[in-house]
Amino acid sequence: MDMMSLLFAGVLVSVAPQMPLSVATTDDALAVFANPAGLGMGRKSDFYYLYTHASSQSMRNHAVAANIGPLGAFWEPGSRFGFALGGGEDDMYAGIRVVRDSLTRFDLGALWRPWNYLSFGATWNDLGHDWGYVIAGAAVRPMWNRLTFSVDFMSTSWPDPIVGLETEPVDGLSIAARVRPRDMSFNAGLVIGLGNLSVGAVGTRVGSEVLDQVGGFVRVGVETRRSLVPKPKRFLELELKGRVADTRPGFSLMGSRPRRTTWQLLDLISDAKKDPGINGMLLKVEGFSAGFSQLSEIRAALADFRASGKQVVVYAPYLGVGSFYLASVADKVVGHPLGDVHIAGVSIQTLLLKGGLDKLGLKVDYQRRGKYKSAVETVAADSTSPENREQIEAFVDAVYDEFVGRSSEGLGMSRARFEEHVEHGFFMAHEAKQAGLIDTFCYDDELDDLLKEEIKGFRKVTEKRYLQSGDFEYGWKGPPRVAVVYASGSIASGESRTDFLTGDQTMGAKTMVRAIRAARRDKRVKAIVLRVDSPGGSGYASDIIWRELELTKEDKPVVASMGNIAGSGGYYIACGADRVFVNPTTLTGSIGVFGLKFVTEGLYNKLGIRRETFKRGERADALSDSREYTAEEDSILQLQVDWFYKQFVDKVAQGRGLSFEQVDSVAQGRIWAGTDAFEVGLVDSVGGLLAAIDWAKQQAGLEECELDFYPKPKRGFGPMARDLIAEYVLGLE
């Protein structure tokens, strides 16, 4: 809260203000009066009602002021009104203000905050009338944001400074004073903060008057400020529905758009953990889906939440393997009377198309390097190879072990006993309770009463309302940034895109290079986290992305966080990071290469279609689907595949600090679960996105940071308007 702004608001809105607000400190809705550049800080919505009584003039005045992010306005009934707009970022801001009274006046403002303890501001007022006048000011905070000194000068009365002091010794109780030494005019008062509500009173002496003006105000805002009254303890009610993904794909006809991102959920849990007003979390799980790797991240965040001394309660009408794995971390699991629990284990199916392709007359020509590189088996084999069977069995074992181990641990049940329940597989609610898989069951309308009986003083707040009341940022300068670069989808050349029909994402090398380069060149960004969720794709495109990350490592720490899958090209781009984090069930590795083409001549013959080829050059039609490779062509292409495999292994060896032979022994196209990849040295740490961000902060020497997400979405007026309303009006990120 800007105490100086509050103390002088009553003076300012009078007809002839004697002592202006500080142009160096005002940055919420009251910046419409003092310095429009302050609106560039992008505070969320605030509304002020201000009242002033001037005893010497027997005059009363009312005013209102409000802002929506960088847009602000004020109105003094029957007197004047104005609008203002601010902009800028990091430490430099500018603004413009238009005021209408008997004339139309234009003002400009500037604000510079090079450090959290120093601020400079200036306004050029009424510049259309005899060039107007200038107000300049500076402020310092020797004790962070609990003590502020300010000084302002006006060009029309130079040198005649106004000196200010503000202190908040106790949360929610601010005391401040401003004085003009020349004639000892002063202004003093106090503010009581109550979170989203503030009230205050101010008294002013101008010249020889004992108490010339008195006033008060009421503020209602979206952001929660420090409160004299402690926050009531509440449970955060969080509905887990729909699909969770790392990024939101573009529009498609058939693809399902995720309701939220992995980061949004992790960040919400992390914020609730730090919030002294939150003493528990109520998760309502229904129709919730996420990759098992993402579930492990969310579960770990909930476990950390519980470890801070807070409770987790889960209400779920039905639970499958993934949702049960997540729910097992809770203090209490409540089901529905007619619900069920299905925990029959983990399975993976492979699809082998060769028999069907043979019937259609389609053949496949391929080359590969890596005995485990199994992608070609889908179309070129009619049974699973021993090598592929080996790696799939190992991956299923890893997922099963994670599910059984964590779930039994969360239930406080022996692994052997829990595996007996897994063998049984399917439970109705009353059977699940009897088996110790859930604690009880009830209807949704009975849940609150049940929890009130068991949890003293149980109260709850919905996710929507909780997000609307984000905490006010008292700092003058935003903390340094860590960039999170999302590498999602199959890797290809060109721009990133979403398939119009299926919603499948493609990670374009051109888009990724542009994003990584922008993060590297941004001086505010101190470290980069590459979040990978990709099965791979083009080797050429992967190498372009890898190269840009190698250049970035020379300037800033680069850490990789693997999501559900980081295989083949997905591993290629991550392997050179300063540190690689993996979730326990991430599918990674697949360090291998293959090339493949369909030969359609048999299908054409079945359809009675003939093709004739006219060529110059013996191998001009070698890559065509009209014929198979000759033995010599196959040999040439196999040499190319072998060469690229060597480049792949060399890059992994370079990034991981291993020999070629060490990498080759665990490569060969084999997939690894995250925990196994850690054991063989392909990754550095088992942990999720939050752990990767914490490590990046440590490497950059940061205690706090803001996150900047890349690639940046394309902008237009429509998205900008929606973002403005969502962030500053509704309080949603």
Query: Catalytic residue numbers?
Result: 373, 568
The residue written with tokens 């022994």 in the block is 665
What are phi and psi for residue 225, nearest 5 degrees? -100, 175
490-492, strands of its sheet edge to edge? 490-492, 505-508, 497-498
Residue 102 CB burial class (10 angstroms; 0-12, 13-18, ≥19): exposed
Q: What does each C-alpha distance from 168 to 147, 180, 607 come to in angstroms? A: 7, 22, 85
DSSP-assigned beta bridge partners for residue 685: 581
Structure tokens at 128: 């259309």
Write out the E strands in 390-518. Answer: 426-428, 440-441, 460-462, 481-488, 490-492, 497-498, 505-508
Q: How far apart are the two ends of the chain, measured CA to CA in Å?
A: 21
Q: Helix or strand or coil: residue 537?
A: strand
Q: Where are the beta strands (DSSP E) in 39-79?
A: 46-54, 59-68, 71-76
Q: Which of 450-461 are b and which e, b meaning 16 or more Cβ less than 10 Å from the residue's Cβ?
A: bbeeebeebebb
Count CA atoms closer than 13 A to 178's CA, side-chain side: 28
What is the 8-class DSSP label of residue 714? P
What is the chain's alpha carbon radius of gyration, rounded to the nearest angstrom?
32
Q: Is 258 helix (H, G, I), strand (E, B) or coil?
A: coil
81 contact partners, CB below 8 Å, separation of at least 6: 73, 74, 75, 99, 100
Distance CA 124, CA 110 (A): 9
> Residue 198 region, left (φ>0) first, then alpha (ψ -120 to 50), else beta?
beta
| Residue 334 C-beta-side C-alpha neighbours within 13 Å | 19
